[in-house]
Chains A and B, each alone.
Chain A
Amino acid sequence: GDSVTQMEGPVTLSEEAFLTINCTYTATGYPSLFWYVQYPGEGLQLLLKATKADDKGSNKGFEATYRKETTSFHLEKGSVQVSDSAVYFCALANFGNEKLTFGTGTRLTIIP
């Protein structure tokens, strides 16, 4: 079945550092890929998505590129802020349906 493997956390970075959170997937067909963010005490929010190979999703300074050849969708941000502290989830949806398969989540803490 489909699966998503995410970089183990927690990750702690200083403010203005470069962020990469790795995500790889296993799926038949051509899934859509997503990054979700869960801020402390809040619900799950869609951060960005990509629906086909070589698409780049971007939002709030975060980017991720759908790499079919490496089955990856790594999340990057050039300069993180304290307000980016949250748990980040990589997810996929396959066969055109809306059922999501999630990775384990990566807790990110940014220190001033």
Chain B
Amino acid sequence: SAVISQKPSRDICQRGTSLTIQCQVDSQVTMMFWYRQQPGQSLTLIATANQGSEATYESGFVIDKFPISRPNLTFSTLTVSNMSPEDSSIYLCSVGTSFGPGTRLTVL
């Protein structure tokens, strides 16, 4: 299975700012996925990142809030824009059935 790394592992941010999370995979993959896990909650799919095309967003998530880049077959970024305390969550990158370690975001 793929080995997935994420940066940063955690961050504390001020409201109104933006944070970009990086996801690196050790092999070339067609689809990468971004999930959100709110405190004490389950995981919810934000979007599918496809190389060479725009990301596909799930209901309730929009590109302006969560822009995604997919410049090549091993890398993707998720930006959380104009953050509010409600964005405090763990953000996870996924390939197939494997997940990255997650980025724990706290917004003050």
| Residue in A34, A89, A100, A103 whose beta carbon sits within 8 Å of that of B45 in the complex | A100
Contacts of A100 in B (CB 8 A): 33, 35, 43, 45, 94, 97
Chief secondary structure at chain B's binding surface: strand
- Give A4's nearest chain B residue, CB to CB: B42
* Segment from B67-75, B76-84, B99-107 that makes contact with A: B99-107
The number of chain B residues with a CB under 8 A from chain A is 20
| A43 and B100 in contact, given A98-B33, A99-B48, A104-B42 (Cβ under 8 angstroms) | yes
Task: Report if A44-B45 is in contact (Cβ < 8 Å); known contacts: A34-B97, A98-B33, A99-B33.
Answer: no
Chain B residues near A101 (CB, 8 Å)? Answer: 45
- Residue of chain A at shortest CB distance from B96: A98
Q: Which of B1-50 contact A (CB under 8 A)?
A: 1, 31, 33, 35, 41-45, 48
Whether a CB of chain B sits under 8 angstroms from the CB of A105 is: yes
A27-67 Cβ-contact flags toward B at 8 Å (1 or 0): 00000001010000011111001000000000000000000
A49 touches B45 (CB 8 A): no
Counting chain A residues whose Cβ lies within 8 A of the other chain, the interface size class is 10 to 19
A89, B43: Cβ atoms closer than 8 Å: yes
Assess whether A105 is in contact with B45, with CB atoms less than 8 Å apart: no
Chain A interfacial positions (CB closer than 8 Å to B): 34, 36, 42-46, 49, 89, 93, 97-105
Q: Which residues of B come within 8 Å of A, CB atoms?
A: 1, 31, 33, 35, 41-45, 48, 92, 94-102
In the assembled complex, 6 residue pairs joining A and B whose CB atoms fall closer than 8 Å, in A order, are A43-B99, A43-B100, A44-B99, A98-B95, A104-B41, A104-B42
